[in-house]
Amino acid sequence: MTDATAEQDPYLWLEELTADAPLGWVRERNAEAVAALAESAHFGALNAEIREVLDAKDRIPYVMRRGDYLYNFWQDETNPRGLWRRTTLAEYRKAEPEWDVLLDIDALGAAESQKWVWQGADVLRPDYRHCLVNLSRGGADATVVREYDLQTRTFVDGGFELPEAKSDIGWIDIDRVYVGTDFGTGSLTASGYPRIVKEWRRGTPLSAAVTVYEGKPDDIAVGASHDPTEGFERDFVTRATDFYSSEKYLRSGENLVRIEVPDDAEIGAQWEWLTIELRTDWTVGDQTYPAGALLVTNFDDFLAGQRDLAVLFEPSPNTSLNHYTWTRNHLLLNTLEDVKTRIEVLTPSAAGWQREPLAGVAATGSVQIIDTSPDDDDEFMVNSSGFTEPSTLLYGHVGEELEGIKQAPAFFDAADMVVRQHFGTSADGTKIPYFVVGPENPSGPVLLNGYGGFEISLTPTYSGIIGRGWLARGGTYVVANIRGGGEYGPDWHLSAIRENRHRVYEDFVAVAKDLVDRGIAEPARLGIHGGSNGGLLMGVMLTQYPELFGGIVCAVPLLDMKRYHLLLAGASWMAEYGDPDDPQDWEFIRKYSPYQHIEPGRPYPPALFLSSTRDDRVHPGHARKMVARLRELGYDLSYYENIEGGHGAAADNEQLAFRWALTFQFLFDRLASDDV
């Protein structure tokens, strides 16, 4: 094994983000990739069809309620950077609602000569007139923040405003905000996030903001928030000590009161209730509550020392908590059972918490709670879809019949496609679920997708891009639910972090081999795809299991695990991967770190690497250096780096379509025996 970083990394210069030499290298690689892939006979049609999916006028405009209005952000061919707009429920029910445009990002960018990318807005409750708009240059996580008046449709002169940074800002009231940002030297953590949170009053300079809390340099971040719910106004301060652990405080005047829950638990406060979601077992008195459980108690009683905890959800070997949210009088609980979703309605009463299934929602596929309005009533929206079933948006109130308020179009013909769930067996005997989508007897190329990290679950959802660009052209699509994800709760994740990271890769290999054993795929026509942490997965497959695959697409990846913690937000992920500067941690990290495992003369399959210059989360230097070293050794690979796009590697639908078209064209070129 060659340890390229032990003494000197000859490609360290490619980490210089925007220097002339690295950008010149990027332009040369981009030109090669475009010539090899985008100039092929089928690329134009492929790109156009994917763009048609992304820009479709009849796709569902998903909304969130804020007061009397439903808000939506919309991008299409006419509005590539997007429109922030709103409408009423009565209008939204119509096939073609009338939208009130609040902010045109394309027009704003043209007026200010900036390529703005929308990153959301925080609207002040309960008047919903003022908001804090986040705008990114090119799609980076760092944003510019400006106060905007929804009545006058103008940015507020002298209002709250922050220059570009990875800021955390939120309303207290019309005249005050909590703000964490780059206040100057020493104000950020090693991960690049705010270390100090302050209370900032309207009409005063940022330098006059009063410090509320100050964390330590090796923390991940600190932040504060205000809950304006009438009768239950509360202020919270959080100190994130690692990616999964944080100290939680209630701010009472000048005092901070510690909320005594496990550091790795997630909490929520709604009216009189405190919810506690556990990631590890928690013993209280003589009772132990298991990892993955959701508990509830009276907020004030808990702070006073009482521990009367009710269990709202307790996991089983094949079930996990996926999400929960409140309506005015109920709690909606979204759970997974062997990666299939269900929703229950929980209602507090004098006799305890009552529960029943949410009627009218399919128990298969994926069901997501899109929005509720807990300030007002029991209204909710849920989205139901499956690999071959386009989304249906359902609207209703708890206890009433659901209304199918929107239906997404079908972007591909799924009449002859089947969806199957299989289980492979990993090296330690663990059964690993995966879904196969495509013809019953597949003979074309197979694309296997995986992630395996940060407790993120991959559930059965409809993708017009995958359907139109891959399935409709004879491909088969596979999703692997490997450990490291959250499909079976926190234990599924925690069993594959740090020194047990190898299980992620063994699980993925188990799925790949099971596909071959079942006759669904063979190595020559099995391609794999993953991004970010999934890109790390792709790098490991490339360097350690090359014989299993015919082509690999590796997007916005981590690859140099010797230096990942030194690049951009990398230090925030050491709870997941370990600390490369600790010799004991490096001992298990080095066993899989792809950049350190590049060797000459191995049967590496062809690979396409994708990244973004404006990615300020995972440094594009990972992909650049990997490609440079592989090129030096003569391997077959392509590299495309979008200048814009941030961690998503695309700032608008045109860029996103192009990126996916490159992906599919590359895979068809390498895996398919016939033209598509």
Active site residues: 532, 647
Closest to 595 (Cα-Cα) out of 570, 630, 565: 630
Q: Is 304 helix (H, G, I), strand (E, B) or coil?
A: coil
Tokens standing for residue 467: 């359907």
Other CB atoms within 10 A of residue 129 CB: 13
Q: Is 565 helix (H, G, I), strand (E, B) or coil?
A: helix
Q: Is 590 helix (H, G, I), strand (E, B) or coil?
A: coil
Q: Are strands 431-439 and 417-425 parallel, antiparallel or unpaired?
A: antiparallel
Closest to 160 (Cα-Cα) out of 205, 115, 220: 205
Q: Is 90 helix (H, G, I), strand (E, B) or coil?
A: helix
Q: Are 262 and 278 in contact (CB under 8 A)?
A: yes
Q: Are 634 and 627 in contact (CB under 8 A)?
A: no
Q: Are strands 431-439 and 446-449 parallel, antiparallel or unpaired?
A: unpaired
Element (H, E) at 25: helix 20-33
Chain centre distance of CA 29: 28
Tokens standing for residue 669: 């070129």
Cis upstream peptide for 606 (omega within 30°)? no
Closest to 259 (Cα-Cα) out of 268, 178, 217: 268
Q: Are strands 294-298 and 273-277 parallel, antiparallel or unpaired?
A: antiparallel
Half-sphere exposure of residue 203: CA atoms within 13 angstroms, side-chain side: 2
- C-alpha–C-alpha distance, residues 457 and 94, integer Å: 33
- C-alpha–C-alpha distance, residues 493 and 473, integer Å: 34
Residues 6+ apart with CB under 8 A from 410: 390
Q: Which backbone phi and psi does 222 adopt, to 5 degrees?
A: -125, 155
Half-sphere exposure of residue 125: CA atoms within 13 angstroms, side-chain side: 14
Q: Are 180 and 167 in contact (CB under 8 A)?
A: yes
